[in-house]
Amino acid sequence: MDKRMNLFAVVPDGYKMMLEFEKYVTGTSVTKTHKELIKIRASQINGCAFCLDMHTKDARKNGETEQRIYTLSAWRDTSFFTEEEQVILALTEEVTQISNHVSDSTYNRAVAVLGEKYVAKVIVAILAINSWNRIAITTGMQPA
């Protein structure tokens, strides 16, 4: 795919809005590990090569293991992820694939395990990476 445009050069106010959104997510109490798992899993589902490249590198810098990164798309079939991570990954998948809706069981389990306030912050983090994925895919952004 060829790069189509630099959206941020064309609409700098949109870029500033996205940076503020990301700044908020970065400042939340959602752990770095949880944020990177959300970013990688949503980017896998959306097929965003640019974001996968960026966030797998970021995750490794944060101490994430290769094994967990490699098996993230099959997280249900491993014992590598904690209960908290499992509910975050399930919620990430359902929010990312929103046309299937978020099930009551996934939502209720997430709240039971993480608490409502943390779940709210996780949802915002999921929304942010899905927005970034859509920007990168639509404008043809490529990994370096």
- Under 8 Å between Cβ of 89 and 81: yes
Q: Quote the pLDDT of residue 4.
A: 84
3-state secondary structure 80-116: CCCHHHHHHHHHHHHHHCHHHCCCHHHHHHHHHHHCH
Q: How confident is the model at residue 25 (pLDDT cuts 50, 70, 90)?
A: very high
The yes-or-no verdict on residue 3 having pLDDT over 90 is no
In angstroms, rounded to a whole number, what is the distance separating the alpha carbons of residues 30 and 37? 11
Q: What is the rounded CA–CA span in Å between residue 68 and residue 73?
A: 9
Question: For the segment 63-104, what is each residue's pLDDT rounded down to a tens digit?
Answer: 999 999 999 999 999 999 999 999 999 999 999 999 999 999
Q: What is the share, in percent, of the chain residues with pLDDT greater than 90?
A: 93
Tell the residue number behind the tokens 């895919």, with chain if given. 137
